[in-house]
Amino acid sequence: MEFLIDGKKVKSEEGKTILEVALENGIEIPHLCWHPALEPYGACRLCLVEVEDNNRKTLVASCTYPVRDGLKVFTNTEKVFQSRRFVIKLLLGNAPDSEKIKKLAKDYEVSLSSSIALFPADNCIRCGLCVRVCRELIKKESIGFIKRGIERIPETPFLEENPECLACGACAYLCPTGRIKILDGEGTRKIELWRRKEKLAVCKNCGKNFVPLKQIEEVKAKIENEELKEFLELCPECRRKILFSKLKKGEMVEQN
């Protein structure tokens, strides 16, 4: 199918969203709650664009809006700019310490004095990335949203440490504001926000700590190959060295 983004003709497969196609074609649309590995959520509303249908323009969230033949999309109109600017005022009020939000505020001429806080200024923008990555990719649901309205926030069940959590850090990796922090030291990993503490695995080759032991055990329980299980007990650096060594030996065999 073909449609227009800012007057530029683009092609796409059916089922993709405006944001996906725009990014594929080098057209930047700011976004915070979207990630290619997760289902679209449409929480932050930062990716708003205008679409024209039957000579009528409407603001839509580009991360959830599917493309179709003949669609006209506008990403940089004054209405889009002002709408995003208002969203950033809300985001900055809730996450005033976030470097990513502060950069967006600078780009859209938003000052801290003009920001609006709907939630406590706790550096959480309720984008749901932490909850969704745990549920959709890690398959654990160790955290989830609790309460409603302005008190809604991601948390652990009963506000206690959840032993189901692997302490893998996927939530911290995707958190756009840096609210979720990981502390590795003395053979343990701590995620204080979730009250989580987990022992780190020790590389059987070099003796360094790398990922949580619980995470290694979880993966090993799902595979039968013993050689692969042993391979998982090595840190990434040692794995690369071994793979490179095997590859080099294989190249030497081919040359002979």
Q: Who's near 27: CB < 8 A, 6+ residues apart? A: 5, 6, 8, 75
Which of 88, 114, 140 marks a domain boundary?
114
- Mind listing the pLDDT tens digit for each residue in 67-117? 999 999 999 999 999 999 999 999 999 999 999 999 999 999 999 999 998
Indicate whether 238 and 134 sit together in one domain: yes
What's the rounded mean pLDDT across residues 30-59? 94
Query: For the whole prediction, is pTM greater than 0.85?
Result: yes
E strand or H helix that includes residue 107? helix 99-107
Q: Is residue 10 one of the residues assigned to a domain?
A: yes
Residues 109 and 133 in one domain: no
Residue 122 belongs to some domain of the structure: no
Q: What is the predicted pLDDT for the residue at 251?
A: 55
Number of domains comprising the chain: 2
Q: Tell which residue, 107, 100, 46, has the closest CA to residue 75.
A: 46
Cα 81 from Cα 106, distance rounded (Å):
13
167 and 237 together in one domain: yes
Q: Is the pLDDT of residue 49 over 70?
A: yes
Q: Which residues, including other chains, have CB under 8 Å from residue 191's CB and lie 6 or more apart? A: 165, 167, 169, 171, 172, 180, 181, 182, 183
148: in domain: yes
- Which residues 6+ apart lie within 8 Å of 45 measured at CB? 61, 87
